[in-house]
Amino acid sequence: METPHMNLVLICAVAFAAVLAILSILAGIISGICWKFPVNAADLPDPGAEEAVRQAVAKALPDCRIAEIREIKP
């Protein structure tokens, strides 16, 4: 006859294995999406330009805050 302590260890082990399996499946899905739709470095925003815009706005309008900067490419 098993003790209640052993049942708890078994439940924890099964739960850990299930979480590990689910996370592995999600990692595979994300890896597949990244492989299928690669990101070009030219498409990423320029952090230096964003910081320059933030500083210019902070200097010109001290009470304002920038929430989002979007670059529109032709």
Does residue 4 have a pLDDT over 80?
A: no
End-to-end CA distance of the chain, in Å? 73
Tell me 41's DSSP state: G
pLDDT, tens digit (0-9, with 9 covering 90-100), for 33-58: 999 998 777 777 778 888 888 899 88
Ranges of each domain in the chain: 4-60
Average model confidence (pLDDT) across the chain: 86
